């Protein structure tokens, strides 16, 4: 594939409000293209895009779509869009050039230094940390994030055009569209089995991704995975590891050990040992790209404020600690629980969880039940379907019956506030990749007494 962007005048995004799509839209706006798009919801991201000059339509009349000239246009769509989508159908039936978001990311980064972050968990946190480390050290970075950076309140970071930081998404095998010079695979857990035939198929795709990196000294992976490169672990032994991890005033402190160097006393505001691991990944990629700035990167880490919906504190008071997190996979829930237990060992903790996708709930029901059962109380919202049709017999009640906790039940969104008030739990963790994040903001207003 070879797109001549010099002849492109108009770019239309199908699903422009998505976190990955909008970052790309911000990029093309910065480059001076006329940006258009369709989305079903006028979200805050859509409004921000419109304030930057994008034109977005929210209904199926497709007034904007019908003004796009086939001869000089580019149509970009998210893989979550189905062929039956009315906007996709319009462009495909009129023979417009249609490209997946990952294809475009591959095209715009192929002639740049590309740093790619892959893995089934932690991509957004690692990418956001890495982009922060590079930008704060005045390096010419463009970054596309899968979440909103707390430091910049944006999912698109621009400091220059020389190095591109990109999340290498395994969904739909998108990561194979990239040509990375530096990369990490943070972990490989079974997921997206609606896309992959088996776990082996998923692992094979990650292997093909690792083969894309020519210099294996620029490739990092979680210790325990079978790759050629440098291993990373929170604990030794590994090529790169953390040591002397301790919590001081809620901040994680640790030492960073590299093959030929050790740096002591790093500080990380994001809670949890899983975020210490994410920090090691980001630091290692940054130091591999610019080894002369290794100590500066270690120093800069302490100023990273995190990513929206990644262990974000909504309320911190003597009565309640309410946390919002994107966790939607059993191992992510496990990591959140471990962080809560380390930070608040004397307090009871409640999980309010919204399962994401019928297929994921079905495939990992026992694992979800095991990770959720570790909380003192569990409240389940109904499954958020996203791109899927319902699966018979798979709902929140199905999952609830598997949870080995007598304090587990299914609730409505309207009950969240009363459930919190009626509980003896001080620590409340709201988790999921659906619209529970919106509910979390409502809960923040109620329990922090915002107007």
Place of tokens 């590309």: 114
Burial of 278 (0-12, 13-18, 19+ CB in 10 A): buried
Pairing of strands 163-168, 251-258: unpaired
Q: Do 26 and 156 touch, CB atoms closer than 8 A?
A: yes
Per-residue tokens: 179:
């040509």
Q: Do 280 and 231 touch, CB atoms closer than 8 A?
A: no
In 10 A of CB 356, how many CB atoms?
22
Per-residue tokens: 268:
């990380």
Identify the pLDDT of residue 197: 66
Tell me the DSSP string of 97-158. -EEEHHHHHHHHHTTSEEEEEESSSSHHHHHHHHHHHHHHTT--EEEEEEEEETTTTEEEEE
Tell me the DSSP string of 308-329. TTSSEEEEESSS-EEEEE---S
Q: Could you tell me how many helices (H) and strands (E) the chain has, helices first?
A: 14, 21
Tell me the C-alpha distance between 216 and 200, whole Å.
Answer: 23
Peptide bond connecting 178 to the previous residue in cis, omega within 30 degrees of 0: no
Q: Do 75 and 14 touch, CB atoms closer than 8 A?
A: yes
pLDDT digit of tens for each residue in the chain (451 aa)?
A: 688 888 999 999 999 999 999 999 999 999 999 999 999 889 999 999 999 999 999 988 899 999 999 889 999 998 778 888 899 999 999 999 899 999 999 999 999 999 999 998 899 999 999 999 999 999 999 999 999 999 999 999 999 999 999 999 877 778 898 999 999 999 987 665 566 567 788 888 999 999 999 999 999 999 999 999 999 999 999 999 999 999 998 899 999 999 999 999 999 999 999 999 999 999 999 999 999 999 999 999 999 999 998 899 999 999 999 999 999 999 999 999 999 999 999 999 999 999 999 999 999 999 999 999 999 999 999 999 987 899 999 999 999 999 998 889 999 999 999 999 999 999 999 999 999 999 999 999 999 876 4
Pairing of strands 427-431, 73-77: unpaired
Three-state DSSP string of 353-374:
ECCECHHHHHHCHHHHHHHHCC
The half-sphere exposure of 242 on its side-chain side, counting CA atoms within 13 A, is 25
CA dihedral 93, 94, 96, 101 (to 10 degrees): -30
Identify the pLDDT of residue 143: 98
pTM of the model as a whole: 0.89
Per-residue tokens: 201:
């198929």
For the stretch 88-97, contacts whose Cβ atoms lie closer than 8 Å and that sit 24 or more positions apart, written own/partner, are: 88/14, 90/62, 90/65, 90/66, 91/12, 91/14, 91/65, 94/70, 95/70, 96/68, 96/70, 97/73
Identify the pLDDT of residue 4: 84
Identify the pLDDT of residue 81: 81
Tell me the DSSP string of 187-213. ---S--TTTSSSHHHHHHHHHHHHTT-
Identify the pLDDT of residue 199: 78
Helix (H) or strand (E) holding 236: none
Tell me the C-alpha distance between 159 and 157, whole Å.
Answer: 7
Identify the pLDDT of residue 201: 84
Q: Do 177 and 106 touch, CB atoms closer than 8 A?
A: yes
For the stretch 2-8, contacts whose Cβ atoms lie closer than 8 Å and that sit 24 or more positions apart, written own/partner, are: 2/107, 3/74, 3/99, 3/104, 3/107, 5/107, 5/108, 7/72, 8/33, 8/72, 8/73, 8/74
Task: List the domains of the chain with CATH numbers.
Answer: 7-100 (3.40.50.720), 110-303 (3.40.1190.10), 312-447 (3.90.190.20)
Tell me the C-alpha distance between 322 and 436, whole Å.
Answer: 13
Tell me the C-alpha distance between 162 and 213, whole Å.
Answer: 18
């Amino acid at each position: 594939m070879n797109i001549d962007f010099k002849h492109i005048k108009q770019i239309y995004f199908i699903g422009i409000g998505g976190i990955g799509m909008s970052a790309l839209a911000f990029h093309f706006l910065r480059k001076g293209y006329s940006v258009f798009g369709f989305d079903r919801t006028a979200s805050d991201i859509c409004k921000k895009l419109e304030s930057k000059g994008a034109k977005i339509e929210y209904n199926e009349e497709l007034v904007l779509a019908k003004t796009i000239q086939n001869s000089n246009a580019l149509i970009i769509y998210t893989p979550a869009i189905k062929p039956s989508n009315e906007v996709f159908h319009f462009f495909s039936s009129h023979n417009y050039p249609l490209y997946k978001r990952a294809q475009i990311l591959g095209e715009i980064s192929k002639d740049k230094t590309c740093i790619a972050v892959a893995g089934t968990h932690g991509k957004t946190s690692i990418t956001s940390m890495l982009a922060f480390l590079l930008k704060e050290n005045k390096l010419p970075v463009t970054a596309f994030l899968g979440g909103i950076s707390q430091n910049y309140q944006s999912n698109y970071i621009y400091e220059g055009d020389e190095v591109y930081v990109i999340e290498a998404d395994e969904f739909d095998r998108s990561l194979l569209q990239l040509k990375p010079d530096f990369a990490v695979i943070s972990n490989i857990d079974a997921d997206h089995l609606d896309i992959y035939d088996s776990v082996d198929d998923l692992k094979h795709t990650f292997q093909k991704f690792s083969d894309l990196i020519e210099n294996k000294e620029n490739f990092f992976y979680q210790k325990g995975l079978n790759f050629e490169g440098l291993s990373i672990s929170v604990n030794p032994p590994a090529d790169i590891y953390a040591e002397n991890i301790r919590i001081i005033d809620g901040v994680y402190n640790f030492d960073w050990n590299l093959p030929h160097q050790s740096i002591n006393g790093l500080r990380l505001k994001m809670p949890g040992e899983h975020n210490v691991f994410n920090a090691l990944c980001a630091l290692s990629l940054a130091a591999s790209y610019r080894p002369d700035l290794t100590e500066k990167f270690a120093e800069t880490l302490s100023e990273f404020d995190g990513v929206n919906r990644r262990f974000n504190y909504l309320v911190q008071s003597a009565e309640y600690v309410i946390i919002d997190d994107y966790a939607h996979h059993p191992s992510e829930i496990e990591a959140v629980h471990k962080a809560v237990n380390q930070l608040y060992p004397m307090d009871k903790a409640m999980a309010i969880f919204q399962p994401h996708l019928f297929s994921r709930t079905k495939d990992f029901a026992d694992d979800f039940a095991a990770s959720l059962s570790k909380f003192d109380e569990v409240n389940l919202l109904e499954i958020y379907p996203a791109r899927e049709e319902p699966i018979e017999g798979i709902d929140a009640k199905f999952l609830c019956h598997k949870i080995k906790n007598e304090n587990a039940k299914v609730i409505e969104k309207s009950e969240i506030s009363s459930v919190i008030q009626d509980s003896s739990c001080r620590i409340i963790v709201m988790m999921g990749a659906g619209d529970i994040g919106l509910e979390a903001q409502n809960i923040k207003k109620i329990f922090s007494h915002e107007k």
